[in-house]
Amino acid sequence: MIVSGVLILLTSLFFTIYFDLTLPYSKSRFESTGTFFVKFFIAPLLIAPVIEELLFRGFLSRSKVVRALFLILGVGALFFFNFHWVLVTVILLTYVVYLSYFYTKIEWLLDVTILLSAIVFGSVHYSAEELNFLQTLPFFLVQFSGGLILSWVIYTKNFLAGVISHAVWNLIIVLISLYGLQFVDTTASKAAYGQSSMVYEKVPIFHSSVSSFKIEDQELIAKNMTVFDVVKYMDERYLDTFNITTPYMKYDIHISSKGNPGASDFNSNAMRLLEQEKLLIKRDSVGKAFVWR
C-alpha cells in the first residue's frame, strides 16, 4: 500500500506539474468569498479528516464502534447523496467484499476492499463531468494514492493516526492553494469583444478585506472581488449556466462598452469577455451534464 501509493502520488504530481494540467470543469459555481474560512480551514482540517476516514477507511480500525460507523454512515450516505449509479455500484461492492472478508478472514479480500475504497475516495472528489476527461486522471490518482497511503497508516498504526495524517495531508494542500492565491502575477491583461473591452488583474487574496462593485453608464468596476461575486452582482442567474474556473482568486476588473447597449446586452458582452479570458466556463461546453452526486 505505502510503496504503490507513494509511487502513484509522485507520478501523478509530476504529470500535473510538468504539463501544467488543470481540471476541464469546475464545481465552484456555488462558492464565494463568504465560504472561504469554512472551505480552507474548518472543512479540510477538522471535519473532512474524521468523516472521510470513517466513511472510506473505518473498516480498517480495530475499534468495533468505528467499524460499525463505517457501515452505518456509508449506507446512510447512499440515501442522502445523489450519487451516480456507477459510484453506487462500486460502494455496494466495497461493502460486499468487506463483509465477505469479515466472515471468512481471507486476506486478499481485505486488499480488494482497500483498493475499492481508494477508488471511491478518489471518485467522490470529482464530478461525473470531470471524470469523463482523461485530463482528470492525474488528479484522481492523487486522491486514489492518498486513499492507499491513509489505509496503510490506519492498518499499521490506528484510526486516530489516520485522521491526523489526513488533516496534515489537507493542510499541505491548503497551504499550496493559499500560496497560489497570494503570490500572483499582478500584470494587467486586456481583452475585447465587439464594442466592449476589459482590463483586469489578479489581486493577492490577503491584500485587503475591502472590496467594491459599481456598474453604471455602460461601465463595470470591481475591486478586490472574485469572479463569482462579480457575476452574482451583475445577474446571479448566470451562475446557473456558468462555472468559475479559479475559485477564490480575487481580481480588479474594469469592463466598458462604447455606444449605448442595453443592460442585458452589456451583461452578455461582459460574460463573453470573462469566458473568453477563461475566468469562467459555460457548463454546456464540457459535454453532457449529469450529476454524480
Task: Give pLDDT, residue 245.
Answer: 83
Claim to verify: residue 24 and residue 158 sit in the same structural domain: yes
Q: Per the structure block, which three cell numbers stand in for 220?
A: 463595470
pTM: 0.86
Number of domains comprising the chain: 2
Task: For residue 80, tell me if it sits in a domain.
Answer: yes
| Domain's final residue, options 155, 182, 209 | 182
Task: Give pLDDT, residue 236.
Answer: 86
Task: For residue 235, tell me if it sits in a domain.
Answer: yes
Kindly report the length of the chain.
293
- CA distance readout (Å), 204 to 20, 183, 212: 21, 6, 15
Contact (CB, 8 A) for 284 and 251: no
Claim to verify: residue 162 and residue 245 sit in the same structural domain: no
pLDDT band of residue 25 (cuts 50, 70, 90) is low
| Domain's final residue, options 162, 182, 202 | 182
Residue 149 and residue 1: Cα distance in Å, rounded? 6
- Can you tell me the mean pLDDT for 174-202? 94
Claim to verify: residue 152 and residue 214 sit in the same structural domain: no
Task: For residue 78, tell me if it sits in a domain.
Answer: yes
Domain that holds residue 160: 2-182
| Domain's final residue, options 160, 182, 204 | 182
Task: For residue 81, tell me if it sits in a domain.
Answer: yes
Exposure class string for 281-292: b at 16+ Cβ within 10 A, else e: bebeebeeeeeb
Claim to verify: residue 195 and residue 176 sit in the same structural domain: no
Residue 127 and residue 234: Cα distance in Å, rounded? 27
Lookup result for grid cell 498504526: 157
